[in-house]
Structure 1
Amino acid sequence: MKSKLLVLMTSLLFTFNIFAGVSVSPVQMFIENPNKQKSTTLTLESVDETEKRVFEVKVFKWTQNAQGENVLEPDNNIIINPKNFILQPNKRQAIRVGFTPSIAATLNTKTEEAWRIVIDEITPIGNQTMVKFLVNFNLPVFVGKKDDVKVNFEVQNNKLVLNNLANSHVQVTKLKILDEQKKVVFSSETMAYVLAKQKMFYDLDNVDLTNVKKYNVVLETNNSKKAIEMKLFS
């Protein structure tokens, strides 16, 4: 019996630089002032491939709700060129991402806004017995001025809450809680984005923080040259 295995590789938060013979660069895009810089470019490259691949590009407005969950909604405000293309073996394809002048003029760059560019490989038509890995890249686009890291922490309902006070996102790479003896009582290496003025929640499970004022939080981000350590308050 003929069969076909299709595997869709998708991540809403992060993507690998290279997967299944296709690389993408950069993995994050920034437009600080869309009135001056109306576009940026990313590149998809076929690496040591023998077959062509067909791709489709979609755009989603990216926000986060009160629970810290990612919300993606289709958005036509960002212009993509091309939206559909064939990536030939061992070739490159540039994709331009940007705004029309009229849309750029409406953006409030004081608080960073975010989008997601999703590049999907289209299901191949042909040999029904083949095993095929479909490539999917999910890339963030940040529009607005980059702010310094400004966060604080609190504990609510046995959850550690990271409050992003900045006007731009924070990309958390590591986090841990230390007691007065500098012993680690909780740690997380989950990489995640916290968008401007949003929150992230960590389940403390069985961690008993009897007096939260006695604990410190150590935070590492992709922009920090060294870890940020601060008091944990209730």
Structure 2
Amino acid sequence: MKPSKEIRILLADDEPHILQFLEMGLVNEGYTVQTAPDGMSAYSLALDFRPHVAVLDVMMPGMDGFHVCRMLKEAGNAIAVIMLTAKDEIDDRIKGLTLGADDYMVKPFSFDELLARIGARLRNQFPDLLGEVALGPFKVDDRRGEIRYEDRLLELSPTEYELLKYLVLHHGMVQSKAVILDKVWGYDFGGEENIVEVYIRSLRDKLGDKEHQLIRTLRGAGYRVDLP
């Protein structure tokens, strides 16, 4: 999927080889990219560059990613922030999200996963930039709140739409029930995890996925959408 309009992405990391690798990959995908080696230059650059998405490393000299995230959000500009960290610590994740971060990734990560997360943030916060997204047999139109499968409009409830959209946009990646509940129902959802099974069953019925080849169940891990 290539951006339909200019989409600006800011990358901030103090490891030059990571910056170069990510910049080359994102430019190849059609994004306009600028990079910064530390937090202060990242914030200064963002004021003029006005990125749609900022990918910030947590541990940077001078001003860390948490500080940059807070300042960018307080500046009032519409921006999606993805935090990068080398530590899989829940305290870091909570701190980042509390300061306004929109997503969180733990190093090392795959470039495809970063692409998927950037795409998800753009669809959620800047849907007019992308329009309709075609992925395999699916077409997701977030402006209309519609999903087509093999050119057939699916009759979906709002929750079914959000669940299927999330699984399709993150195709190829296993999604646990806990993650699905957090992303689709919200972190403050107080119900049971089994609600996910109920909605997955309904989606399979509407997709005609009797053999579970489209929405796969990975026992003990979660669900994954596989596209041709």
Q: Which TM-score tier does this pair reach, normalised by the shorter chain?
A: under 0.3
TM-score (norm 2): 0.22
**Which structure carries more relative contact order (alpha carbon 8 Å, separation 6+)?**
1
Higher helix share: 2
Higher strand share: 1
TM-score by length of structure 1 reads: 0.21
Q: Which has the larger radius of gyration?
A: 1
